[in-house]
Amino acid sequence: MIANPEPSTLPGMTTVIIFTMLKLSGLSIRLGGRLVVDDVNLTVEPGQTVGLIGGSGSGKTLTALGVLGLLPGAAHAEGHIGLGGIELCGAPERRLRQVRGCRIGFVGQDALAALNPLATIGRHLCIPLRRHRGLNRREAARAAGDLLERVGLAADTVRAYPAQLSGGQRQRAAIALAVAGRPGLLIADEPTSALDPPNQAGILDLLRALPPAADGRPTALLLISHDLAVVARLCDRIAVMHDGCLVEQGDTAELIAAPSHPYTRALVASARALAA
Ligand SMILES: Nc1ncnc2c1ncn2[C@@H]1O[C@H](COP(=O)(O)OP(=O)(O)OP(=O)(O)O)[C@@H](O)[C@H]1O
């Protein structure tokens, strides 16, 4: 099932098909009859970092859960969710399972909730390393240590249980888990909001230098946040959600220099006041 191919001809070369990493077209989500995400159009190109920003309840998390096919039971999504040319909206669970962890990684706010308290970090990591990268047990154990070092943890963290790590270390382990399958896209939903400022800065630095995707290209990032300063620090583009609608999007510097929607103007003004 192919969605949204974008043919492109390079001078003197044959026609190639370039797919956007993620393309949401007319995505709407209803929850118990209430429209909570309203006709969202958003693209993330390979390797791009896009910030999805908005106030509490504006629909950011449900948009992300819609992409992952993890909406609450009462919710229903309509429209198109194209991932590298594959349509995910309404896709069968079997296909979504192939995509999660392998094509799309996810990290949330609460690493403790994401990790099994009774399993070591190494055991967590071995699942995607074996399932999505086809490594055997020994290779996966070695790759887990390498991956932990890549996210700023000691390789012997493989033997630690989640409760034995600090909040910042746990979030690093959760990011390692999210990218273990070398996805092309990582969705990070408020990944720093439960951390103190030094750990927040460390996680943002890590998100800026993620391990590459399976095809060797930089991993694209969809960063969900209510904090304009966080998003501005990391993202090439910003999309602003308000009351379920995507009200404005654009290049980060341009959007901050000249916000057009009243909600974005208020966001920029309050970020400036905080920074002053
Ligand atoms: N499981 C649920 N059951 C009922 N309503 C929900 C559920 N999840 C979200 N909602 C509602 O859907 C709307 C959008 O919620 P969503 O979590 O996507 O907002 P958000 O922008 O991510 O907010 P926050 O920044 O506070 O996480 C809100 O009105 C919220 O109350």
Secondary structure of the chain in the HEC alphabet?
CECCCEEEECCCCCEEEECCCEEEEEEEEEECCEEEEEEEEEEECCCCEEEEEECCCCCHHHHHHHHHCCCCCCEEEEEEEEECCEECCCCCHHHHHHHECCCEEEECCCHHHHCCCCCCHHHHHHHHHHHCCCCCHHHHHHHHHHHHHHCCCCHHHHHCCHHHCCHHHHHHHHHHHHHCCCCCEEEEECCCCCCCHHHHHHHHHHHHCCCCCCCCCCCEEEEEECCHHHHHHHCCEEEEEECCEEEEEEEHHHHHHCCCCHHHHHHHHHHHHHHC
Calculate ∠ Cα 22-43-39, nearest 5°.
105
Binding site membership of 245 for ligand 1 (Cβ less than 6 Å): no
* Domain 6-275 in this protein, CATH class: alpha beta
127-160 per-position pLDDT tens digit: 999 999 999 999 999 999 999 999 999 999 999 9
The residues with which 25 forms a beta bridge, in sequence order, are 80
Residue 88 has pLDDT above 60, yes or no: yes
Ordered by start, the domain boundaries in the chain are 6-275
Share of the chain above pLDDT 70, in %: 93
Confidence category of residue 19, pLDDT binned at 50, 70, 90:
low
Ligand 1 atom with the smallest distance to the CA of 54 is 21
158-190 per-position pLDDT tens digit: 999 999 999 999 999 999 999 999 999 999 999
ipTM: 0.96
- Who has greater pLDDT, 107 or 18? 107
The residues with which 42 forms a beta bridge, in sequence order, are 24
Binding site membership of 48 for ligand 1 (Cβ less than 6 Å): no
Binding site membership of 62 for ligand 1 (Cβ less than 6 Å): yes
Binding site membership of 212 for ligand 1 (Cβ less than 6 Å): no
Confidence category of residue 48, pLDDT binned at 50, 70, 90:
very high
The 10 Å Cβ neighbour count of residue 231 is 27
Residue 5 has pLDDT above 70, yes or no: no
The residue whose CA is least distant from atom 12 of ligand 1 is 36
Binding site membership of 57 for ligand 1 (Cβ less than 6 Å): yes
227-271 per-position pLDDT tens digit: 999 999 999 999 999 999 999 999 999 999 999 999 999 999 998
Ligand 1 atom with the smallest distance to the CA of 241 is 21
The model's pTM is 0.91
CA distances from 197 to 154, 158, 274, 276 (A): 22, 26, 15, 18
